[in-house]
Amino acid sequence: DAGVIQSPRHEVTEMGQEVTLRCKPISGHNSLFWYRQTMMRGLELLIYFNNNVPIDDSGMPEDRFSAKMPNASFSTLKIQPSEPRDSAVYFCASSWDRNTEAFFGQGTRLTVV
Amino acid sequence: KNEVEQSPQNLTAQEGEFITINCSYSVGISALHWLQQHPGGGIVSLFMLSSGKKKHGRLIATINIQEKHSSLHITASHPRDSAVYICAVLYSGGGADGLTFGKGTHLIIQP
């Protein structure tokens, strides 16, 4: 398996634009997590899916952020409209379940100017 | 708020030295993870622990559940061990279902 695949690796966008980040988890993993990493706050959980269902979205900053998992092999994180303070590295991770080892994607570095 | 504290924040050592990074947390957990993040940014899982000790090559991780404390040790350190080491916990009670992270320890091993 190629591991967790995220795209794009880098994204630069203008404030106000819509941004969509994509993630393909490892085949067979039932849990998927979106994390955000900033210099100020470090790594933080945004949302957790189990069997494609959002279980915990308490970390999603505000209504501008939304995440979907239409099937077991694909998830998106959307920001609309984007703001400069959204600039961060966004990681997707998957695991068999929340109690097992997590495998991280390479991350998407988002810059909103 | 459930906190994960790591120490030291920064550590510079000479090649060959024995390295210890500490992690403490405030409430009950079901698992603790040690992660490694290289300058390129990718995150790799090193260990997942719920009790005792695990060893992989030159890396050793221990956890003391009663004291709510874990340590990551690197024996015979090498410049390629230079990275940020992050402790993360999965809480067993209510709260976030994902990992809660420490701020990381930035390790530099000088040749």
CB contact under 8 Å between A59 and B86, yes or no, is: no
* pLDDT tens sequence across A52-110: 999 888 889 889 999 999 999 999 999 999 999 999 999 999 999 888 889 999 999 99
Secondary structure of A44-57 as H, E, C letters: EEEEEEECCEEEEC
Half-sphere exposure of A73 (CA within 13 A, CB side): 3
CB B105 within 8 A of CB B10: yes
A46-65: string of b/e by CB count within 10 Å (b at 16+)? bbbbbeeebebbebbeeeeb
Q: What is the DSSP letter of A29?
A: -
Give per-residue pLDDT as tens, B26-72: 888 889 999 999 987 899 999 999 999 999 999 999 999 999 999 99
Nearest by CB to A106, which of B31, B42, B99?
B42
Distance, in angstroms, between B29 CA and closest chain A CA?
A: 11
Please provide the DSSP assignment of A3-21 as one string: --EEE-SEEEE-TT--EEE
Average pLDDT over residues B87-98: 76
* Position B1 confidence tier, pLDDT thresholds 50, 70, 90: low
Q: From the CA of A37, how many Å to the nearest CA of chain B? A: 10
Residue B96 buriedness (CB in 10 A; 0-12 / 13-18 / 19+): middle
**Interface touch A99/B86, C-beta < 8 Å:** no
